[in-house]
Chain A
Amino acid sequence: MSLDFNQNHFDLFGLPHAFALDADKLDKAYRDIQAEIHPDRFAHAGEAEQRLAMQWTTKVNEAYQTLKKPFERARYLLLLNGVDAMDPMNTSMPADFIMAQMEWREALENARAARDGAALETLERTLKARAKEMRELLSELLDERRDYAGASDTLRKLRFMDKLLEEVGAAYESLD
């Protein structure tokens, strides 16, 4: 009858094991649990309870951060299904995607060198649109087709997109 400290993140928040997420429901479940177990609720309790409150809150924070971010959620869902998408041994990437990557990087370099804010914006829009498509595909692969190998490939592509977007962000800052 005791609650399992190692139970999976979806069960912890009472959510279905799926990539599609009701964000409001996650937020609400997170807040409800925090309201009961946060260390601030146990500041006047015994040492043992204080320590447990910290451990539980740590776990709940990790679970929430994992489920909240689409990339982490997909990666976690794949791990639950026995697929490690970020396995360092797995580096294969389709040629057309590598080509696209190179083009985007070149555009980024050019925009940065020319201090061209408008070009950065155009690139950012393109990248965001592609990333959005990938997330939609990911949702389909994970929740409907249950094609975990395909989802793993898409997730690795998404990782590249996120990194590029981060670099675009850094380039914006260098304009200031």
Chain B
Amino acid sequence: MALLQIAEPGFSTAPHQHRLAVGIDLGTTNSLVATVRNGVAVVLNDARGHGLLPSVVRYHKDGSTTVGLSALVQAAEDPHNTLISAKRFMGRGIQDIPDAATMPYQFVDAPGMVQIKTVAGVKSPVEVSAEILKVLKARAEAALGGELVGAVITVPAYFDDAQRQATKDAARVAGLNVLRLLNEPTAAAIAYGLDNAAEGLYAVYDLGGGTFDISILRLTKGVFEVLATNGDSALGGDDFDRRIYCWALDQARIHTLADADKALLMAHAREAKENLSDHGEAHITAVLTTGEVVDLRLSEAIFNEITASLVNKTLLPCRKALRDAGLQAEDVKGVVMVGGSTRIPRIQAAVGEFFGQTPLTNLDPDKVVALGAAIQANVLAGNKSGDDWLLLDVVPLSLGLETMGGLTEKIIPRNATIPTARAQEFTTYKDGQTAMSIHVVQGERELVSDCRSLARFELRGIPPMVAGAARVRVTFQVDADGLLSVMARETGTGIESSIAVKPSYGLTDDEVANMLKDSYAHAQDDMAARNLLEAGVDGRRLLEASEAALAENGGELLTPAERAGIDALMHALRAALAGDDLAAVKRATEALNQGTVEFAARRMDRSVKKALTGHRLDELEV
């Protein structure tokens, strides 16, 4: 594994100040957790020394779960209750899963997101992902010896809003504080760039188990600027396995298969793919429950032939990303390969041909994303090392609204640097219209029906006017996690309606709360105690942040009276934290939050001014 030097030798924060933070790569096939230890990013292993945790969750009758390798190796014994590649179902409806028929699961078409029936009840992909995250959280806390301040969780760059929101919900259900959702190729670029002191234009080609991303980045003096990203959130190594599986069925002339045999043959298909990358040929030998014997030889030539269209499917997004970035393939200085599927020789050759250069494979493609996420988590948690680099990422898919005739009006174009906000004005089309329905969609196509529906909401109470007289201003805001919120406002009367985009493809706060309750009911944890603990963590975090801010420039930016006011609020919060009244802790935290708004604004002004002054000083020196 690559060692990533991110601080000057000898420079490290004192251990007692070090805040425990991790980066988590929640993958389709495997998941990992990494952290920065003594200035070096490392993957945390389980007790047996394994870094990779297979993203497999088996549900048992009593509600308990087995997660990881042991669940994977027993998948054929209990295919209905062993959930593999659940990431493919995150934020997706049943109609989004074309190969559902080849999977041994009983899907339930729930509103918003598909669910899966197991012996332990109906489970959402969010809950399945949360089980994986819980195991990684426990692994990290055992290895680091304390509670985590937070985690950076990676998502495919081409994940849409529903998929991102589902991932964040899963982290909440697992009891993790999400410092940031980070795009996988960007995480890889951080790990690669900081390790190699890279400068210039780079492409990150990331073919994981179930998703494909291509990102084009400009690396300049510690700034990682994503210029364009593209991909396919339903294309990955799994599809290569499935091609082998279908080929094997065809060759062995098998038409119907028991579910246990489906799981068995899929496992053999995957194994054959991996053997092929290492040895140039592979054998598939299996005895089915019917007594039939499958015995096939898969050559590289056949494999390349049956998967050629998949390889080509990754090159189209590469072309689009380059075009969006306004670049030619030859402008790219290096192509970083990420994701286990990039081990396939044919893929390396195709990417090499496309970009006219040998791709970079010197970092472990399975680990580089988690390592990059750990480096980012370390900085976000406030551990100072490596503070002098910055990440500028983008929205992968355009965000817009439905307008007359079922057409899409784009509000935020794809590849806009986040955080970003755009507003657009709309008007009523009927006389006396008092409500306006707002349908939020994501995608590049012109027809709303070809885009993903994210949310619908209504702005009511518009005063009756003639058609075209009302002015409704709709504002889209995308935050640093790439998550969208939408606000609509009738500008004459100030009637307002806002929404964090969730209802049609995400979970409501209540649903998340229920999942949390279920998950802790089983662990026999006391929910009330858990709530108090979490409120306490929030309160202490705010106290710590306020103390640091006051120490830095409280004297300079506050009058003695203002200072005394904030001190009083901090004192009240400390007192509340000493007790066990949840409502009091929340109240005191909120009061301090409110009481420091003006101070925060002055500090921010100061930061902007400092940046500008620094800039002008530089000019004087020239």
Contact = CB atoms under 8 A, between A and B. Distances in A.
A57 interface: yes
A29 B612 contact: yes
Given A14-B612, A44-B382, A57-B419, A37 B220 contact: no
Interface stretch (B47-55, B287-295, B328-336, B598-606): B598-606
Interface residues of B, number: 58
A31 B223 contact: yes
Contacts of B602: 2
A3 B323 contact: no
B35 interface: no
B179 A37 contact: no
A56 B610 CA distance: 14
Contact of B605 (A3, A28, A53, A54): A3
A49 interface: yes
Nearest to A38: B390
A154 interface: no
B407 interface: no
B480 A40 contact: yes
Contacts of B605: 2-3
A95 B603 CA distance: 56
Contact of A53 (B477, B594, B604): B604
Contacts, number: 127
Contacts of B614: 32
Interface in B534-548: 541-542, 545-546
B380 A43 contact: yes
A49 B419 contact: no
A72 interface: no
A14 B615 contact: yes
Nearest to A37: B607
Contacts of A33: 608, 611-612, 615
Contacts of A28: 615, 618
Q: Which of B381, B541, B615 has the most chain A CB within a 10 Å cutoff?
A: B615
B549 interface: yes
A92 to B, nearest CB: 24
A58 B477 contact: yes
Interface residues of A, number: 37
B593 A48 contact: yes
B601 A35 contact: no
Contacts of A167: none
Nearest to A1: B605
Interface string B409-441: 000000011111100000000000000000000
A176 B316 CA distance: 9
Contacts of B101: none
B615 A48 contact: no
Interface in A20-62: 25, 27-29, 31-40, 43-49, 52-54, 56-58, 61-62
Interface string A134-176: 0000000000000000000000000000000000010001001
A35 B390 contact: yes
What 6 A-B pairs are tightest by C-beta distance, nearest first? A44-B382, A43-B380, A48-B600, A3-B605, A36-B611, A39-B480
Given A3-B609, A14-B616, A46-B549, 5 more contacts: A14-B615, A27-B220, A40-B180, A48-B597, A173-B323
10 contacts: A2-B605, A31-B220, A40-B180, A40-B379, A44-B380, A45-B600, A58-B477, A61-B416, A61-B419, A65-B417
